[in-house]
A and B are shown apart, each in its own frame.
Chain A
Amino acid sequence: MALLDVRNLSIGYQTRKGFLRAVDSVSFSVEEGKSLGFVGESGCGKTTIGMTLMGLLPKNASVMADQIMYKGRDLLKISPEEMRKTRWKDIAMIFQAAMNALNPVQRVGDQIVEAILIHEPALDKPAAQERVEALFDLVHIPRERIRDFPHQYSGGMKQRAIIAMALSCRPSLIIADEPTTALDVIVQDQILDEIKTLQKELILSILFISHDIAVVADVCHTIAVMYAGQIVEYGKREEVFEAPVHPYTKALLGSYLTLGTEKTQLEGLNGETPNLINPPKGCRFCDRCEATGPACRMEIPDWIDVSRTHKALCCKIT
């Protein structure tokens, strides 16, 4: 059985301009010890999904889903208090803006100890501190930096510290929301390597979020390509990365091949992502799609199974 199994998850935000459907019936699952990567342009709803799993959506958000089964419990049905206890203990998250994710006026070590003690009240402080030391060894930060304040750390160290913090309660699932975007290329590689190693060593499940398909392909077993709130292609790393079927995935890969890891306007993709308050009726990508036809605008696309593990949401594929 999958560790996490999400069925038909839709998330909307109540905004001043109207109801914004940030995520539209997505289904995915994460196996124990495996990693799932979400990739897509800015604003396609990746973080929203992560936040939903953490139960940290803002007040104006509303969630609908058939189920969000995690270790046999439906996260939609548990109480806020239970959800709180699940956070970090079971599901930890590395946030997009890691640079500011640590409280500037508290010592890094203390912030990790705090996380440990809240979930393991039986533990005493020295024990928790010992664990922090071990964690720092694990993410390769010198122990003597435990008592430093966040501003004394470099960007890479902060990110490592956060990874250490995410690991501190030994969660089964870690959501890593663009853990490396703010870092320079070399540090980025180091961190990614570290995540990969840790995942193998600790047999972690990771839900990895990135706008960079290469990074996702490097880290994850399964890839979900998202566009405008929907998953448009879903499959094993090899399938999606090497034999993409959806035009959007192809475009993403194209931009990767030409531009490397730099964050630029996707090649060949002119125009903007659709408005999520009033999304187009048919295929959401059709305006920017090279292969678009008249049917794309009218018909709601269906899932096409390319293989048992590989599928795409497109009317053009047969």
Chain B
Amino acid sequence: MELRKYIFRRLIEIAIIFFVILTVLFLLFRLAPGDPVTRMVDPNMTPEDAEHLIEQLGLDQPIGLQYLYYVKNFVTGNFGVSFHYGQPVADIILNRLPNTVLLFTTSIILSALFGIFLGKIAAWRKGESTDTWMTIGALICHTVFLPWLALILIWLFAYKVGWFPLTGMISAEVWIDPEAGFLEKAWDIVHHMILPLGTLFMIHFGSYLLIMRSSMLDTLKEDYILTARAKGLEEKTIRNHHAAPNAALPVVTSVGLSLAFSINGGALTETVFTWPGIGRELVFSVSNNDYPLAQASFLLIAAVVLLANLVVDVLYAYLDPRIRYE
């Protein structure tokens, strides 16, 4: 089958690109200044200690050899142990990833759904006040500084009004309580998620609204929309059945890639909301030269993004019959 061949070819391409990224990442982190040992001004750490540690971490070996080990370990699925956590990198990532997916991926899905929905309406009502307000609102949300918005929302809804917990993902008080049942705990997570989700939603939905709106405006100029109208279709049918699906096509790419990138979380959001996601680990690992953690996290993102690209392309072919892969 052609599609199968195409996917196969793309997978080989992806493997090659991935290998290049793997190498570039390795070099990037090794060339970055500093080492994992000298990161604090602590007179207890003698140069002998530092060298011993460097040797124990295997960083004293020639860089070529380190690279070979790195590739070998990687191929065998051994991602190494974090220098600072002393934990297998895979464990750290697996621990954080679900939290990131829960918050960030959900937020992308929600904001994409709403953004597309509202963008459709805005374009349909182009020039009316609905459109003007939606567009202005989207632009404002899109440009607002996230930590600022987050802090405002926390202050207002968590501190002043007290509807939501301040930050975090769960309340210690609920989870320590041996009597708390599954439902109570599940609700506790949802309850903690609302504010960060709302913040991310506000930041993201604007861009989807704007993309959808402009795509929809282009689509509405198409001749087949006129045909649909001439056929005597109801306006709603034209909008939802002929214009929106076609207009949403280019948005799919954007959403697909955002979804892929969402797994790297966001250091700012995670910091403000103390959300135990992967974004802060990324920043931490890079700034503290925790090579195994940094490499594995970035490779995970690279892999997901590359695969998501493929999925989006295949999905596109499925959604748009004009596109066929040979």
Contacts and interface: CB of A to CB of B under 8 A. Distances in A.
Contacts, number: 70
Contact of B232 (A87, A99, A101, A151): A87
A92 B230 contact: yes
B227 A102 contact: yes
Interface string A70-114: 000000000000001111110011010101111111100000001
A95 B320 contact: no
A102 B231 CA distance: 11
Main secondary structure of the interface of B (DSSP, over half): helix
B223 interface: yes
A115 B231 contact: yes
Contacts of B226: 56, 95, 101
A19 interface: no
Nearest to A166: B230
B321 A149 contact: yes
Nearest to A93: B230
A118 interface: yes
Given A56-B226, A56-B230, A92-B230, A103 B322 contact: no
A85 to B, nearest CB: 6
A118 B232 contact: yes
A87 B321 contact: no
Contact of B229 (A56, A92, A149, A165): A56
A93 B226 CA distance: 10
B230 A88 contact: yes
B224 to A, nearest CB: 4
A104 B224 contact: yes
B167 to A, nearest CB: 45
A124 to B, nearest CB: 19
B233 A114 contact: yes
B322 A104 contact: yes
A97 B224 CA distance: 9
Contacts of B214: none
B245 interface: yes
Nearest to B233: A118
Interface in A56-71: 56
B232 A86 contact: yes
Contacts of B321: 104-105, 149, 151
Contacts of B242: 103, 106
A245 B234 CA distance: 46
B246 interface: yes
A84 B230 contact: no
A46 to B, nearest CB: 16
A100 B227 CA distance: 9
Contacts of B245: 105
A95 B227 CA distance: 8
A75 to B, nearest CB: 14
Nearest to A80: B235
Contacts of B322: 104-105, 149, 151
B319 interface: yes
Contact of A103 (B229, B232, B246, B319): B246
B307 interface: no
A88 B229 CA distance: 9
B223 A95 contact: yes
A54 B232 CA distance: 9
Tell which of B231, B246, B321 has the most Cβ of chain A within 10 Å.
B231
B49 interface: no
B319 A95 contact: no
Interface string B211-237: 000000000001110111111111001
Contact of A100 (B224, B231, B232, B233): B224
A99 B232 CA distance: 20
A88 B231 CA distance: 5
A119 interface: yes
Tell which of A103, A151, A162 has the most Cβ of chain B within 10 Å.
A103
A103 B231 contact: no
A105 B223 contact: no
B224 A87 contact: no
Contacts of A84: 232-234
Contacts of B249: 105
Given A86-B232, A114-B233, A115-B232, A101 B320 contact: no
Interface string A140-162: 00000000010100000000001
Interface of A: 54, 56, 84-89, 92-93, 95, 97, 99-106, 114-115, 118-119, 149, 151, 162, 165
Interface of B: 222-224, 226-234, 237, 242, 245-246, 249, 319-322
Q: Lowest 8 CB-CB distances: which A-B pairs, in order?
A: A87-B232, A100-B223, A149-B321, A103-B224, A115-B231, A88-B232, A101-B227, A97-B223
15 contacts: A54-B230, A84-B234, A87-B231, A89-B232, A95-B223, A97-B223, A100-B223, A101-B223, A102-B224, A102-B227, A103-B246, A104-B224, A106-B242, A115-B231, A118-B237
Given A102-B227, A103-B242, A103-B246, 17 more contacts: A84-B232, A84-B234, A87-B229, A87-B231, A92-B230, A95-B226, A95-B227, A99-B223, A102-B224, A104-B320, A105-B249, A105-B322, A118-B231, A119-B232, A149-B322, A151-B322, A162-B227
